[in-house]
């Protein structure tokens, strides 16, 4: 039985392994996965957004609510938008895990980016629940109401719309912050890869 120790990265014939004792892809697989998730997220978001009813002026609540009530795709469109955002955030988290392996500022930048991305997804999920589900049921109830009940249902639908606007005002700055963190992380990651 051969008990000689074979150094890491070296084969039994004394030659070097092709990968030098390291991963064959040099860490490219996580970056490839991140790229796929980011592209898929963008495509899903644009595809869902293209199906979103946009004919009526959003500030003309009566016209907008009537359009929303007629839409059979309203809830599905917003679920698609959430799925697209979830894929984008997953791509950011994978990218952050790659950049977070490097020492120095890139570690904390990646961590902050991951936390911000998770917070943005939670905010966006709540926004889509209000806009895509609660508002839809409110406008459906308004469209079906008659007499004095119609004014009450309309006021309830407006409450949902204003709640949506309030939540959107918090989500947009968060997403903008994620974009800035992502750019910084990508720059640090590219720099570390050039030095390696």
pLDDT in tens, 166-176: 888 877 677 76
Tell me the H-state helices in 100-133.
105-128
Q: Average the pLDDT over 12-29 and give the result.
A: 50
| 51 pLDDT higher than 50 | yes
Record the pTM. Answer: 0.73
| 112 pLDDT higher than 90 | no
Grade residue 115 by pLDDT with cuts at 50, 70 and 90: confident
- What is the Cα–Cα distance from 26 to 170, expressed in whole angstroms? 39
Using DSSP's 3-state secondary structure scheme, residue 10 falls into strand
Q: What angle do CA 52, 180, 182 make, to 5 degrees?
A: 85
Q: What is the pLDDT of residues 80-109, one digit of tens each?
A: 999 998 998 888 788 777 765 555 556 666
Mean pLDDT computed over every residue of the chain: 79
| 21 pLDDT higher than 50 | no
> Among 31-40, 106-115, 127-136, 146-155, where is mean pLDDT lowest?
106-115
Cα 98 → chain centroid: 18
Torsion of CA 41, 47, 52, 53, to 10 degrees: 160
- What is the Cα–Cα distance from 70 to 143, expressed in whole angstroms? 9
Q: Which tokens hold the place of 152?
A: 């009450």
């Amino acid at each position: 039985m051969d008990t000689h120790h074979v150094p890491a990265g070296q084969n039994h014939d004394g030659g070097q392994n092709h990968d030098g004792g390291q991963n064959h892809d040099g860490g490219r697989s996580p970056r490839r996965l991140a790229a796929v998730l980011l592209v898929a997220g963008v495509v899903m978001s644009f595809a869902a957004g293209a199906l979103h009813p946009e004919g009526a002026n959003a500030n003309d609540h009566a016209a907008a609510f009537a359009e929303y009530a007629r839409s059979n795709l309203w809830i599905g469109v917003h679920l698609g938008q959430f799925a697209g955002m979830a894929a984008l955030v997953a791509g950011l988290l994978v990218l952050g895990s790659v950049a977070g392996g490097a020492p120095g500022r890139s570690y904390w930048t990646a961590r902050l980016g991951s936390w911000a991305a998770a917070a943005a997804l939670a905010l966006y999920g709540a926004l889509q629940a209000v806009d895509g589900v609660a508002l839809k049921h409110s406008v459906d109830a308004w469209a079906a109401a008659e007499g004095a009940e119609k004014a009450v249902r309309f006021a309830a639908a407006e409450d949902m719309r204003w709640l949506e606007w309030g939540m959107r005002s918090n989500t947009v700055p968060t997403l903008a912050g994620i974009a800035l963190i992502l750019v910084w992380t990508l720059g640090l990651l590219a720099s570390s890869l050039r030095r390696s």
